Every structure is written in structure tokens, then in C-alpha cells.
Amino acid sequence: MKSEIARKLLMINPNTNTATTERLQKTLHSLVPSGVDLDFMTAGFGSNYIACESSHAVAAHACLQSWADYRLTQPGQLDGVLIGCFGDPGLFALREACGCPVTGLAEASFILAAQRGAFAIVTGGERWRPMLQRLAQSLGYGHLLRHIETVVPSGAALQSDPEMAMRCLAEACAKAAVPGVQTVILGGAGLAGYAHGLRSHCPVPLIDSAEAGLQVLLQDLAPAAPYAGDGFFAQWRDMAPAIMNMPVRP
């Protein structure tokens, strides 16, 4: 007999790459405890890989749309939302609209890393460096972020070539552990699961950003939603039906 679901969580992959969603599912499947139901959604529009400011901006819209679509078909209990991208597009908008705890792979990793002190990030794609610096600052962790080590291949390229990814990321993890760094974060939905094989190459603890996201939601470490219930605070025009049908609050 299936046990009663005590908590229902939703992970949204804000890019259109179903292989990324599958990687997240594979990595987190064994970590979901009994009594927790973790659903996954893949963005219905946007980019195949979030690699720049423009694709990040569109991904924020795609996150809101995915959540609204989910709520239209699953109107019952929802206890947490996880943005499956190490860049957390739409984080603040979702937190305002969802009425439940919301975090992203980056924020969740920052929360756990900050418990040890200063940290560094390893990720794919040079354009992510200023984006992650800005995100860490806006979330209140800028003073703890000591270093960002980006590798030349994008997260998508790393995901498609595991052998190359392990060689490249092992070197990056060693470089990232600069003096004063207590933890290194391996950031990226496409890199979910790689940390297990890389920890021996990293002289400090290595955090898998996907695992961190789930852990933060399960341990109730994600910041609480500022409002109760689902809805927006703006009138919409020419948006998709699921968003148009959401309540608008005064």
C-alpha cells in the first residue's frame, strides 16, 4: 500500500532540455524520503541551456509559467518549489506568488556552504561569473563568496561528455579551493551527480547543488514565502491561460 504523502515538492527545470530534467531525477531519486512526493517539470519555452543574461531572463518567465501550469492541473497541496538551475531564475517572483517555500540550486548551496564559512563555486560557462556574483550579493552571501572557477565547456557540453567533464571539473575543483575557502560548490543542474566522483580531487568538502536544493527544502531551510496562498499582484494581458487564471491580489 502506498504511504500517505506528507509533503509535496515541485522541481522546475527552467530550460527546455529534458535530458537535464532526467539527470536531476536520476540524481535525487534515491534521496527523496518516504512520505515525500517530488514532481518534475521542464520549461515549455525558452532556451535549451541557460548561458547568458537573456536566456536567464526568459527562464524566469518559463519558471512562472511552469508553476502556474502545475497549479492549474494540481491545485492541492504544494509544500515547496525548487528551481533546477544554478542561477535561480525567477526566484523572487516565485517566492512572492507561490505561497510556499521556494529556493534554487544556487541559493540552497549558498545556505549550506555558509554554515561552514567562506566558499567557492565551480561551474561551466564564463558568462555565469558576473551573474553568480550578483546573485550571491543579492541573497546576502557576497561576503562569503571567495572565488568562482569557470570551465570553458558549458554545462550542456559537460553533461553530454561525462569523461571530459570529470577531467575538466577535477582540475577546476582543485583550483577553486583557494586559501580561506571552507567549501566548494559544484553548481549546475547538468552537473548533478558528478560531485560523488570528484570529492577525492577537492581538498575541502564539495557540495552538489542539486542535492543541496532538495536538502534545504526537506530541512525547512528555504526562506518562507512572504504571502499565503497562490496568486499575483498585477493584472495581466495576453499571457498564457494558467497565468491569466491565477488570482490577482489587491
The stretch 11-39 carries a mean pLDDT of 97
pLDDT digits (tens, 9 = 90+) for 210-235: 999 999 999 999 998 888 889 999 99
For the ranges 1-10, 42-51, 184-193, 202-211, the lowest mean pLDDT is seen at 1-10
Percent of the chain with pLDDT over 70: 98
pLDDT at 159 > cutoff 90: no
Extended beta strands in 77-151, E state: 80-83, 102-104, 119-124, 145-151
Other CB atoms within 10 A of residue 31 CB: 14
Other CB atoms within 10 A of residue 40 CB: 17
C-alpha closest to that of 15 among 49, 39, 40: 49
Specify the pTM. Answer: 0.94
The stretch 79-89 carries a mean pLDDT of 97
The stretch 36-45 carries a mean pLDDT of 98
Report the alpha-carbon distance of residue 49 to residue 154 in Å, rounded: 9
